[in-house]
Amino acid sequence: MQAGRCRWGGLGVWAWLWGAAAAATLQEEPVHLFSQVFYCQIDSPFFGLAQSLDDDQLFWFDFPNSSWHARLPDFHPELPGRVPLANVSAQRELCGELLSLLSNFSDQHAPMPEAKGIPQISIFTRYPLELGKPNTLICSVTNLFPPSADVSWEWNGQPVTQGVSTTQVYPVNWLGFERFSYLEATPQEGDVYSCIVKTPGDQYSGLAYWVPKDPVPSDFLETVAGGVAIAVGILLVILGIVLIVKSRRPRSAVNCQAVQLKTGGPAVGHLVLLTLSCAELHPADPFPSGALWDSRPSLQRDWRAS
């Protein structure tokens, strides 16, 4: 009986430890997330395969040419870790069959709901803006779902194709997709650039404008900031000197008293503030003289009592 209890007790402790370890493992977030996403759809691009680290694309697969490409030139797509071409072909066939099956079921039986995202567009420069100097405008398209969108540029209302390069659609966390488009330009005052995003199969088209504004020169900002810092420093030094001087001066015990006097007839209150200036006074000193003091014995009693 005791052996059975010991056995069940040991199993209980082991189960508790295993559950605690599993809970700690589930709660611990990974430092980085490497993801590989393969998709197929009825709109272009029909197939997609990409590898990402967190929200940054590393490699993408070019299906027409059957080759891997790096997102940045420093990466090497031929290194081990890329999916072999045979596996890519197998995944392509499987995805195509599943897509055909689901499309036929939706057309013949019941329409299947489709998740869609509204693209969010923003334009910014690659380098700090300087009018009249070459720069690169970047159009960022996020919240893209399904992963299909055409991106184009306009300058002062006219289409622009020269100096334009657009990335592939690549996945980010939480099953979203993103795309970037670059425009080599030399911004001038009065220019108006626009990035247009159109999603196939929908009537939606997004538009974002960018107008160059002459920035304040950094040298001028540094000069102004330096001047303000020097001025604040001088004021703090003066304030410190004043406080030091005041703290070393002898303090005079000045007795100030507010007395309420009542006139004859109806009781009407008047508040009179009696301020004694600069002389050091004590209750043992002679009582101050004056018509007001001499005519009010109660004031003399209050003075002695203080």
Provide DSSP, 61-102.
EETTTTEEEESSTTS-TTSBTBPPHHHHHHHHHHHHHHHHHH
pLDDT(224) > 50: yes
Which amino acid, 249? R
Check whether 1 has a pLDDT greater than 50. no
Mean pLDDT of the chain: 74
pLDDT digits (tens, 9 = 90+) for 244-302: 877 776 554 444 343 333 334 443 333 333 333 334 444 455 544 444 444 445 544 54
Which helix or strand (DSSP H or E) is residue 206 part of? strand 205-210
Q: Is 214 left (phi over 0), alpha (psi -120 to 50) or beta?
A: beta
> What pLDDT score was predicted for residue 191?
94
Residue in 156, 161, 165 with CA at minimum distance from that of residue 126: 165
What pLDDT shows up at residue 105?
Answer: 86
- In this predicted structure, what is the pLDDT of residue 215? 63
The predicted pLDDT at position 141 comes to: 94
Residue 19: pLDDT over 90 = no
pLDDT at res. 108: 86
* Residue type at position 133: K
**Residue 155 in contact with residue 162, Cβ under 8 Å?**
no
Residues 6+ apart with CB under 8 A from 194: 153, 154, 155, 207, 208, 209, 210
Q: Taking the complete model, does pTM exceed 0.95, yes or no? A: no
Which of 88-92, 206-210, 265-269 comes out lowest in average pLDDT? Answer: 265-269
Sign of CA dihedral 89, 94, 95, 96: positive
**Euclidean distance between the first and final Cα of the chain, in Å?**
91
Q: What is the pLDDT of residues 28-45, one digit of tens each?
A: 566 788 888 888 988 888
Question: Model confidence over 2-17: pLDDT tens digits?
Answer: 444 444 334 343 444 4
Largest separation between any pair of C-alpha atoms in the chain:
117
> Measured between alpha carbons, how far is 268 from 234 in angstroms, rounded to an integer?
53
How many percent of the chain have pLDDT more than 70? 66
Provide the pLDDT for residue 27: 53
Q: Residue range 198-223: average pLDDT? A: 77
Residue 64 has pLDDT above 70, yes or no: yes
pLDDT at 114: 77
10-39: b (≥16 Cβ within 10 Å) or e:
eeeeeeeeeeeeeeeeeeeeeeeeeeeebb
The string of pLDDT tens digits covering residues 172-194 is 877 789 999 999 999 998 999 99
Of 18-22, 49-53, 60-64, least confident by mean pLDDT is: 18-22
For the cut 60, the answer to whether the pLDDT of residue 73 exceeds it is yes
Instruction: Give pLDDT tens digits for 113-151.
Output: 777 888 999 999 999 998 899 999 999 999 988 888 999
Q: What is the pLDDT of residue 66?
A: 87
**HSE of 70 in the Cβ direction (CA atoms, 13 Å)?**
9
